[in-house]
Structure 1
Amino acid sequence: MSESTASPGLPSRLLADPEMISACAARDFARIFQLAKRKGGFHPSRIARACELTPSRVGEVMRGKPKITNMDVIERIADGLRIPGHMLGLADRSWERPALPAQRQPTVAAAKPVQEAWPAATGASSDLDDILAIAAGTRVTPTVLRSLQASIEDYWRRDDEHGGEALRPAVIGQLKYVKDILQETTDPNFRRSLHGIAAELARLTGWTYFDARQHSTARGYFTESLRLAREIDDRPFIANVLACLSLQATYQDKAEDAITLARAAQDSARLDGGTPRLLAMLHMREAFGHASAHDHEATYEAINEAQRHFGRIATSDDDPAWVQYFDHTKLTVDTGIALGQLGDATAAEPLIAEALRTEPTTNLRGRAFHTFWLARTQLQGRKVELACTTAAQALDLAAIVESPRVIAHLREFRQLLRPYRHTPAAAELTSRISDLAG
């Protein structure tokens, strides 16, 4: 069994490293986390998940402030990274104690001929415990938490590729499951992680309803997500949910609400040292609100702030996983969309076109939106035939992706085509949109 699979914690070679031994003896968690990253391959977000800390807290500790002195936190770090108790001046941890002898030996012996048909299963008992824990819904383990987080990341991918309509029942079911086990879990470390997972599942459920243009239900789930995140004072995630509510307000033509929510999100992020990437995303959401209100000066100011923060991004930043999508391509296309909303087609069109050239082809819903916006800016520039050709590509994507928001944009484009309805390209596209969108 390899060292990486033998334990979920730090590798034994690192625990035997003189630097690590010295750092542990001094309880210098800045050095411990730095060594875990540099020599153990433990990214700060992985340290955070293992030790039941927020990524921003881990980042602060790695920068030397504040120092960790709380014994509960020290014990969580020992257990999460599998640092033997004696290295940190603690009693032996429960996972260091020898396992009890296996019970019910006669049953195992009777089943031996069947077991020999399978590969050797050294260490498989813990995996079996985790499977049974999931089925029972009562016992939480680090593996269960990792499985839940992995399923969320899979939901993100599938939502981008196919839309949230078909995804919603699974997300709602998992949200209910996590809330149920949260009620039965007393360990404060596990409860914190479960609150974070439930908050993201509630946000994701709200997002699927938002994508379906069921705004009242979406707002209810976003509000639930805020309450769950507030329980653990996860300020960056609170900012994320407020950003979702800001975007929803923009779609509902509530520009002032959108701006207020985006600014509240920025305030929340700053309280916990929001990363440059997160702040860039939040300022872009504010730009959408100003663009919806047709406030040119404020829109450009918010865009400039977004670009300024984005320029401060460093590889050492410990961004939450849920904001890592906001890369240079996303900044570029969002800038183009905000400018397109203002009516500045000349500036918007090349930005959106550039982003579409670099955007992943698997992000079908995003490409559908962005292709629509490219067509819209082309139509603003009176490039009618080119705009219709581009919008036809968005229509092809809309036929694949389950997203009422995309359909609503195409209906909007059909209205924009009315002055050109007698041209062959516009007439053909209008008919195609009607066939798909009603």
Structure 2
Amino acid sequence: MNQQSLPDPRAVVAGLLSDERLLRACAERDMGALFRMLNVRGVSTRRIAAAVDITQGRLYDYMNGKSRVEKLALFEQIADAFHIPGHLLGLARRSWEPAPTAAEHQRVDHPPPDGDDLVAMDHFRSADRQAGGGRLYGTVVRHLSDRVAPRLVDVGSGPQAFAAAAALTEMAGWMAHDSGQDERAARHFARALPLARTFGDSPLAAHVAASSSHLALQTGDPAGAVGWARTGLDLAAQGPRIPALTARLNTMQARALAVAAQRTPAARALDAARCGLGGVAAADHPWLSPFDAAALSSESALVLRDLEQYDQALTHAEQAVALREAGRVRSLALSRISLVDIHVRRGDLDAAVSAGHALLSASPTLGSVRVVQHLDELRRLLEPHRSYGPVREYLVRFDDARRARMLLLADLIPPSPGGTTA
């Protein structure tokens, strides 16, 4: 085949701009899928690699799913090399794109979200609080695939489809995290952020950054958690003032700084969160999950615990349990776990056992691997005190309850090696 007969990559992409598969690959920032689509249509791997200035070995890693494009500069290079409109990859308008029309310049306010999207979001959110993410993750992913993703390629849907996709993808990330699938959760959050930016929704993008901060902290990366919280605060500053969002981001920053033993910065961030949530309320954002006084008390207890300020931590943990609604089954369970944890660290074993009995009444069918993991951490904290009779008796009850829970959650949580239940 001579050089003139080789397909032009930009012409190939131009012919695919209405193809759902390409648009989905861009929305999910899955450049491996994009490269495969080009290659199938006759663009050689050598030409693809040269166009985006990477080695063929690196290109094969992307195409085979061994790694993903993460750097902003490479996304920009891909967009410019193949003339992919910037908004499809969550980027600014590229220099080669035509100037926006007057109508586009005039479109400042976002259109209201589709009512069906909000109804679905509220339904999933309510069910998640009761049943846990493990029971709902597959349903939300199917809803995204079947009901939301096709609208991203439908010009009649409007830009609000990207907001719905961002919000539900972020929700899927939390459900994956609640199911113990943290790598999958990270991928969902990574996809949600450019979708929110494509819609131009700074608060929603900041909300996703807060979730990424939480996940980074849970996976042992406090520095990354601080970075994501600060990114979120920068994004939040670009949009309308939403005190609850700013408070959540400051709280995430405080938690990460406390884990990193940065006592003074952590205390300042926590103070900022308290002041922010107590400020003048702003209009609710339709896609953001709420961050209320109960959530702030729960997170404050964890910050103060990690700062070894156990008396103050106890006050906030008790407030969190008192404020948390009975309908928020997972949140209430996590708050009670924190309360028992803090009692143990204070050396008040009788109070720990008393609070621990209430904890065992949490719904055993709650489909949350995260709750099970925290329960196991709590057991390890109690184990050194089993010589004390009430603790020893409680651990017997605890282990019985855990075995029953594991049987009920066998479809979500595989048995540990060797079949141990401790």
Same fold (TM over 0.5): yes
Q: Quote how far apart the aligned CAs of 1:70 are.
A: 6.3
Equivalents in 1 of 2:346, 2:303: separation in Å? 16
Equivalent AA in structure 2 for residue 403 of structure 1: S
Query: Which residue of the partner structure matches residue 390 of structure 2?
Result: 425
CA contact under 8 A between 2:148 and 2:164: conserved in structure 1?
no
Query: Which residue of the partner structure matches residue 342 of structure 2?
Result: 377
Query: Which residue of the partner structure matches residue 151 of structure 2?
Result: 182
Equivalents in 1 of 2:327, 2:102: separation in Å? 45
Query: Which residue of the partner structure matches residue 231 of structure 2?
Result: 264
Equivalents in 2 of 1:249, 1:75: separation in Å? 36
CA contact under 8 A between 1:411 and 1:433: conserved in structure 2?
no
Q: Deviations over 1:7-50 (max 9, x none)?
A: xxxxxxxxxxxxxxxxxxxxxxxxxxxxxxxxxxxxxxxxxxxx
Query: Which residue of the partner structure matches residue 173 of structure 1?
Result: 142
Query: Which residue of the partner structure matches residue 296 of structure 1?
Result: 263
Structure 1, gaps ≥5 residues long: 1-68, 82-141
Q: Quote how far apart the aligned CAs of 1:396 are.
A: 2.3
**From 174, 184, 194, the counterpart of 1:227:** 194
TM-score (norm. length: structure 2)? 0.67
Q: Quote how far apart the aligned CAs of 1:318 are.
A: 1.3
Structure 1 residues 293 and 398: CA distance shift in structure 2, 3 A? farther
Q: Are positions 1:157 and 2:122 aligned together?
A: no
Q: Secondary structure at the match of 1:318?
A: coil
**From 133, 136, 147, the counterpart of 2:116:** 147
Q: Quote how far apart the aligned CAs of 1:219 are.
A: 0.6
Equivalents in 1 of 2:351, 2:278: separation in Å? 34
Equivalents in 2 of 1:149, 1:319: separation in Å? 13
Query: Which residue of the partner structure matches residue 312 of structure 1?
Result: 279
CA contact under 8 A between 1:277 and 1:323: conserved in structure 2?
no
Q: Quote how far apart the aligned CAs of 1:247 are.
A: 0.5
Equivalents in 1 of 2:107, 2:213: separation in Å? 39
Q: Are positions 1:386 and 2:351 aligned together?
A: yes
Equivalents in 2 of 1:162, 1:327: separation in Å? 21
Q: Deviations over 1:166-201 (max 9, x none)?
A: 1112101110023442244113xx331111111111
Equivalent AA in structure 2 for residue 327 of structure 1: D
Structure 1 residues 412 and 186: CA distance shift in structure 2, 3 A? same
Equivalents in 1 of 2:107, 2:253: separation in Å? 41
Structure 1 residues 227 and 420: CA distance shift in structure 2, 3 A? same
Query: Which residue of the partner structure matches residue 104 of structure 1?
Result: none
Equivalents in 2 of 1:184, 1:346: separation in Å? 55
CA contact under 8 A between 2:149 and 2:165: conserved in structure 1?
no
Equivalents in 2 of 1:70, 1:353: separation in Å? 56
**From 173, 191, 201, the counterpart of 2:158:** 191
Equivalents in 1 of 2:322, 2:152: separation in Å? 47
Q: Quote how far apart the aligned CAs of 1:337 are.
A: 2.0
Q: Are positions 1:396 and 2:365 aligned together?
A: no
Query: Which residue of the partner structure matches residue 58 of structure 1?
Result: none
Deviates more, 1:322-331 or 1:281-290: 322-331
Equivalents in 2 of 1:319, 1:154: separation in Å? 18
CA contact under 8 A between 1:278 and 1:319: conserved in structure 2?
no
Larger radius of gyration: 1
Equivalent AA in structure 2 for residue 194 of structure 1: A
**From 325, 330, 338, the counterpart of 2:290:** 325
Query: Which residue of the partner structure matches residue 366 of structure 1?
Result: 331
Q: Secondary structure at the match of 2:237?
A: helix
Structure 1 residues 324 and 225: CA distance shift in structure 2, 3 A? closer
Query: Which residue of the partner structure matches residue 277 of structure 1?
Result: 244
Q: Deviations over 1:207-232 (max 9, x none)?
A: 11111221111111111111211221
Q: Secondary structure at the match of 2:158?
A: helix
CA contact under 8 A between 2:244 and 2:290: conserved in structure 1?
no
Q: Are positions 1:410 and 2:379 aligned together?
A: no
Equivalents in 2 of 1:75, 1:368: separation in Å? 45
Q: Deviations over 1:286-343 (max 9, x none)?
A: 11111221222121110111112122223xx113134462122222222122112222
Structure 2, gaps ≥5 residues long: 1-100, 407-420
TM-score (norm. length: structure 1)? 0.65
CA contact under 8 A between 2:326 and 2:332: conserved in structure 1?
yes
Deviates more, 1:390-399 or 1:285-294: 390-399
Q: Quote how far apart the aligned CAs of 1:351 are.
A: 1.5
Count of matched residue pairs:
303
Query: Which residue of the partner structure matches residue 110 of structure 1?
Result: none
Q: Quote how far apart the aligned CAs of 1:72 are.
A: 6.3
Query: Which residue of the partner structure matches residue 211 of structure 1?
Result: 178
Q: Quote how far apart the aligned CAs of 1:379 are.
A: 0.9
CA contact under 8 A between 1:410 and 1:433: conserved in structure 2?
no
CA contact under 8 A between 2:229 and 2:249: conserved in structure 1?
yes
Equivalent AA in structure 1 for residue 223 of structure 2: E
RMSD: 2.4
* Alignment map for 1:84-103 (pairs within 5 Å): none
Structure 1 residues 234 and 429: CA distance shift in structure 2, 3 A? same
Q: Secondary structure at the match of 1:280?
A: helix
Query: Which residue of the partner structure matches residue 286 of structure 1?
Result: 253
CA contact under 8 A between 1:395 and 1:410: conserved in structure 2?
no
CA contact under 8 A between 2:152 and 2:162: conserved in structure 1?
no
Structure 1 residues 411 and 342: CA distance shift in structure 2, 3 A? same
Identity %: 24
Structure 1 residues 276 and 180: CA distance shift in structure 2, 3 A? closer
